[in-house]
Amino acid sequence: SSEDIRCKCICPPYRNISGHIYNKNVSQKDCNCLHVVEPMPVPGNDVEAYCLLCECKYEERSTTTIKVPELSPLP
């Protein structure tokens, strides 16, 4: 398919965990930290605090638009 749909979560460093970017193909309604961040890098009692720091964005793009056609060389 030419559509590229994904959810991107950018999570900053938290306690002793370095920052990380998570990408996952999920529906727009599931585009949140709990559905995208796997494996969850923090123990259960820290999940809510960690997820509040993460910024998740739903992205939809056409990969056919991104692919640049090869240009023939000029004579």
pLDDT reported for residue 31: 97
pLDDT reported for residue 13: 98
- Tell whether 66 is covered by a domain: no
Higher pLDDT, 67 or 38: 38
Q: For the chain, how many structural domains are there in total?
A: 1
- Tell whether 28 is covered by a domain: yes
The range of the structural domain enclosing residue 10 comes to 5-60
pLDDT digits (tens, 9 = 90+) for 40-63: 999 999 999 999 999 999 998 766
Cα 10–16–18 angle (5° rounding)?
30
pLDDT reported for residue 1: 44
Containing 64, the helix (H) or strand (E) segment is helix 63-66
